[in-house]
């Protein structure tokens, strides 16, 4: 008698053969470039968004994200590798689902997880055995395990047995032309050994380098650490600009000279001179 194929083995095979259907939820500055990278990696991709105007633009092959060229977008649409929809019932067709929704701050400066919660509930409505759900949205350590997992497990399906959960923090830097989604090392973690293996296999087929860590909480902490590093240093250079201006010293001359040091220093831009770049540097997904 033939042994039944496990959910892990079945999904592993789909990822290895690139027959897995991938869903990307949230087609903004993180989701759309990711969808293009996944399509370029050989997977079929369905993009999900609540904004019908984005779907219209995508179907017309017109990109609204600087990091995605319209000819790249139109090529993937024409080939059938990428399609976009507002119909979240089609999540049931996807084997891998990646959440790329915003997590803005509330008036109390706490992360607003409402988009993550609503998106996870939408996934739960069509959840089936053998799917992998990945969170990429910036959030605090513990969100995948304490917020996403309980919502999905209300369906009766269990993580690490029936479904697989993972976290991989986005590392997009809008306006930076030196890096693209596929060339930026990807932090990955899964809820359990099998989920971790699936995460490495999936992202390994899409990006040039995968960096696994031991838990989803550790991966979430990586993103927080990166954001805090940038926020602190942007604040520091803003304060230094005020001091140096009062002393008649050109902050740009100082930064340009300091960044010639080949170790121990990273240049940050004063916000008054380039407020758009500074604000973009510290915003969350």
Q: What would the pLDDT profile of 56-101 be if each residue is shown by its tens digit?
A: 999 999 999 999 999 999 999 999 999 999 999 999 999 999 999 9
Residue 4 has pLDDT above 70, yes or no: no
Residue 285, pLDDT score: 37
Q: Give the pLDDT mean for 133-147.
A: 96
Q: Is the pLDDT score of 172 beyond 80?
A: yes
Task: Give mean pLDDT, residues 161-177.
Answer: 93
pLDDT tens-digit map of 245-269: 999 999 999 999 999 999 999 999 8
Q: What is the DSSP string of the chain?
A: -PPPPPHHHHHHHHHHHT--EEEEE--STTHHHHHHHHHHTT-EEEEE-S-HHHHHHHHTT---STTS-HHHHHHHHHHTSEEEES-GGGGGG-SEEEE-----B-TTS-B--HHHHHHHHHHHTT--TT-EEEE-S---TTHIIIIIHHHHHTTT--BTTTBEEEE------TT-TT--GGGS-EEEEESSHHHHHHHHHHHHTTSS-EEE-S-HHHHHHHHHHHHHHHHHHHHHHHHHHHHHHHTT--HHHHHHHHTTSSSS------TTT-HHHHHHHH---
Q: Residues 43-66: what's their mean pLDDT?
A: 97
Res 270: pLDDT:
84
pLDDT, mean of residues 10-20: 98
Mean pLDDT of the chain: 92
Which domains, and CATH codes, for the chain?
7-214 (3.40.50.720), 224-282 (no CATH)
Q: What is the pLDDT of residue 276?
A: 40
User: What does pTM read for this prediction?
Assistant: 0.90
The confidence score (pLDDT) of residue 245 equals 95
**Could you tell me the pLDDT band of residue 143, with boundaries at 50, 70 and 90?**
very high
């Amino acid at each position: 008698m033939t042994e039944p194929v496990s959910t892990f083995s079945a999904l592993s095979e789909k990822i290895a053969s690139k027959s897995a259907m991938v869903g990307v939820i949230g087609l903004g500055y993180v989701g759309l470039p990711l969808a293009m990278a996944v399509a370029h990696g050989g997977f079929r991709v369905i993009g999900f968004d609540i904004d019908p105007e984005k779907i219209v633009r995508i179907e017309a092959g017109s990109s609204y994200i600087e990091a995605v060229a319209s000819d790249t977008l139109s090529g993937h649409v024409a080939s059938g590798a990428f399609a976009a929809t507002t119909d979240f019932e089609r999540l049931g067709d996807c084997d891998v689902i990646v959440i790329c929704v915003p997590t803005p701050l509330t008036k109390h400066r706490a992360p607003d997880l409402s988009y993550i919660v609503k998106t996870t509930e939408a996934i739960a409505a069509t959840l089936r055995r053998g799917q992998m759900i990945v969170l990429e949205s910036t959030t605090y350590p513990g969100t995948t395990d304490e917020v996403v997992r309980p919502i999905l497990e209300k369906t009766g399906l269990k993580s690490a047995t029936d479904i697989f959960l993972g976290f991989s923090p986005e590392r997009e830097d809008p306006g930076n032309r030196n890096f693209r989604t596929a060339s930026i090392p990807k932090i990955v973690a899964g809820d359990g050994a099998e989920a971790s293996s699936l995460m490495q296999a999936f992202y390994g087929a899409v990006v040039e380098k995968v960096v696994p860590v031991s838990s989803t909480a550790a991966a979430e902490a990586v993103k927080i650490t990166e954001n805090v590093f940038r926020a602190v240093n942007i604040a520091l250079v803003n304060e230094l600009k005020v001091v140096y201006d009062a002393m008649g010293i050109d902050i740009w001359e100082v930064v340009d000279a300091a960044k010639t040091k080949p170790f121990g220093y990273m240049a940050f831009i004063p916000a008054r001179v380039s407020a758009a770049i500074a604000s973009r540097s510290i915003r969350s997904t």
